[in-house]
Amino acid sequence: MKNRNKITVALFGILLFGISISNQLISAKDFSEVENRQLKQMPKLTANSLFSGTFGKDYETYLSDQFIGRDQWISLKTTSDRMMGKKEVNGVYFAKDDYLIEKHTKSELDSAQYKKNIKRLKTVTNTYTKLLGNGHVKVMFAPTASAILRDKLPKSAPKDPQDEILNDMKNSAKKGTFIDLRSTFKKEKEEYIYYKTDHHWTTLGAYYAYVDWAKSMKITPIPMKQWKREVVSKDFLGTVYSKVNQAPSADTIEFWTRKSGEKYEVIYDMGQKKSNFLYERSYLKKKDKYSAFLDGNHALTVIKNKKVKNGKKLVIIKDSYAHSFAPFVANHFEEVHLIDLRYFNMGIKSYIKQQGITDFLMLYHVMSYAKDIHTIQLTK
């Protein structure tokens, strides 16, 4: 028995040693296509980083991100946890009807940043209403699946914080600027408004949001029957899937185009890239299929609709939820300017004046705006 235990310990030691050596020999990866994010690189060792403790934390993240066979280990852990009867793995619920639903709690928020972001909503809605006029400024924060599809979650799932957060946002925003999507999404929750493996809304979900936005703007929304709906993928596995590397089923992606025809020019990052299409089909062959909507993340995306001549220009301060939403609103403006605060270095107010913007929309999913560390740019 003692010899058997020694052999087991020796084999385990050899395995750990082998993994450690392999991690050192293999070049660090910059990007994970499965997780669709940048991976942590080897941190620089300095006296300050060492004694402050930041080097240790960064090195731990680096080891985790660069661990050999990382994707396979994630899948193995998911299998193990599910065999033990767990309904939540790595912050993801294995919910009813094949949904993988990302868990959200208020503890994931930085309290100080959250308070700043709520306060800035008041400043932003007041400032831009003075600049553009009443009725031309709107803010819309999309609830995620965990807030709307509550009946699909395990009974043990804790209370979702998004209702409380949305109420804080609504109370902070200038009266008449806040678009509350909750009633519409709860009404339509049995439809396919959220992807089952991704944190975004589907094109149908984005359409329902567009209808609510249009009504708030006193614009007649284009009826669903006037759109051609094209299924372009049936094997989409999104960001929530990437946290567990398992999914009961894949998602379907649809592109919606006007039956009457479209004529656009899309300009990315001040002309670094140009296109005549709102959808970039090359991404459908990749893991990150959601980037087919407006070519993914850019600091600035400008959509020019060559069929509209009304002098109206809309700016959307946004996260990636806006990428599947913008093709709908682009039918009502000569230009739609989408700005991602993470990459955009100009002052928003000066940009609006410079470009002759007539209308303003802020569009994020709830938790994204609540945690955004770049909102200070909205006040410049």
28-53 pLDDT per residue, tens = 656 555 545 456 677 777 877 666 76
Lowest mean pLDDT among 22-26, 161-165, 245-249, 274-278: 22-26
Residue 100 has pLDDT above 70, yes or no: yes
Question: pLDDT higher for 146 or 46?
Answer: 146
Q: What is the mean pLDDT of residues 59-63?
A: 58
**Residues 380, 349: Cα–Cα separation, whole Å:** 6
b/e sequence 323-342, b meaning 16+ C-beta within 10 Å? bbbbbbbbbbbbbbbbbbbe
Nearest Cα residue to 366 out of 203, 199, 217: 199
Local confidence band at 12 (pLDDT 50, 70, 90 cut-offs)? very low
Radius of gyration of the chain from its Cα atoms, rounded to whole angstroms: 23
**Residues 225, 231: Cα–Cα separation, whole Å:** 16
Contact 334, 311 (CB under 8 A): yes
Residue 224 has pLDDT above 90, yes or no: yes
**Residues 361, 343: Cα–Cα separation, whole Å:** 18
Q: What is the mean pLDDT of residues 235-245?
A: 95
Local confidence band at 173 (pLDDT 50, 70, 90 cut-offs)? very high
DSSP string, 292-349: GBTTS--SEEEEEETT--S--EEEEEE-GGGGTTHHHHGGG-SEEEEE-TTT--S-HH
Residue 14 has pLDDT above 90, yes or no: no
Q: Which residues are within 8 A (CB) of 39 and not within 5 positions of it... i.e. 6 or more apart?
A: 28, 29, 30, 31, 32, 65, 66
pTM (two decimals) = 0.83
pLDDT of 19 reads 47
Tell me the backbone φ, ψ of residue 129, rounded to 5 degrees. -65, -40
Nearest Cα residue to 137 out of 308, 314, 309: 314
Residue 169 has pLDDT above 80, yes or no: yes
What SS3 class is residue 35? coil
Residue 271 has pLDDT above 60, yes or no: yes
Nearest Cα residue to 251 out of 143, 145, 363, 369: 145
Question: pLDDT higher for 34 or 87?
Answer: 87
Distance of CA 339 to the CA centre of its chain: 14
pLDDT of 129 reads 98
Average pLDDT of the chain to the nearest whole number: 88
Residue 76 has pLDDT above 80, yes or no: no
Q: What is the mean pLDDT of residues 235-251?
A: 94
**Residues 274, 358: Cα–Cα separation, whole Å:** 24
Local confidence band at 59 (pLDDT 50, 70, 90 cut-offs)? low
pLDDT of 289 reads 97
Give the Cβ contact number of residue 371 at 10 Å. 14
Question: pLDDT higher for 79 or 37?
Answer: 79
What SS3 class is residue 360? strand
- Percent of the chain scored above 90 by pLDDT? 74
DSSP β-bridge partners for residue 268:
273, 301
Lowest mean pLDDT among 214-218, 308-312, 344-348: 344-348
Local confidence band at 5 (pLDDT 50, 70, 90 cut-offs)? low
**Residue owning tokens 């993928």:** 233
Residue type, 46: T
**Residues 365, 74: Cα–Cα separation, whole Å:** 26
Q: Which two tokens stand for residue 368?
A: 């994204």
Q: Which two tokens stand for residue 204?
A: 């149908």
